[in-house]
Amino acid sequence: MVQMPFLKIDKGLRAPYSRRNIKQFLSNFTEKATDGSLQSEDWTLNMEICDIINETEEGPKDAIRALKKRLSGNRNYREVMLALTNCGHRFHLLVANRDFIDSVLVKIISPKNNPPTIVQDKVLALIQTCSILPQFHVHSHSLFQD
């Protein structure tokens, strides 16, 4: 018997979700979890995002799309810091992709954006973490030559 992925909804209730729902939930949850007005991380929501990422085949790719959308051009560095909370090995493999690093992370710390030091440190730590992943070494030599 094939087990259907489920989504936790308010107060621990769970409902099955479809491919379309996953994209929508991740987009909505990412926006809510990275809302600049949050006083601190919403770990319930972050864990919900992690569950979707880790329990579904397309979850990591959809999460990367939602994250790119949220980070690209965002100058609200509170939201950027909240968005850089991530989870799971499958998700890390996608974040370690050179395209994501070049098109999103490097742009965040670009001097023209003048991000705060704490944001620079967070992004550089994420890039450094990615650089120790085995599949990243194939491409990392050219990342830092520009």
Domains of the chain: 6-143 (1.25.40.90)
Below-70 pLDDT ranges, the chain:
1-19, 86-88, 133-146
Q: Is the pTM of this model over 0.75?
A: no
**What number of CA atoms fall less than 13 Å from residue 137's CA on the CB side?**
3
pLDDT at 92: 73
Question: Where do the DSSP E strands lie in 12-113?
Answer: 13-16
Residues whose CB falls within 8 Å of the CB of residue 143, separated by 6 or more in sequence, listed in order = 98, 101, 102
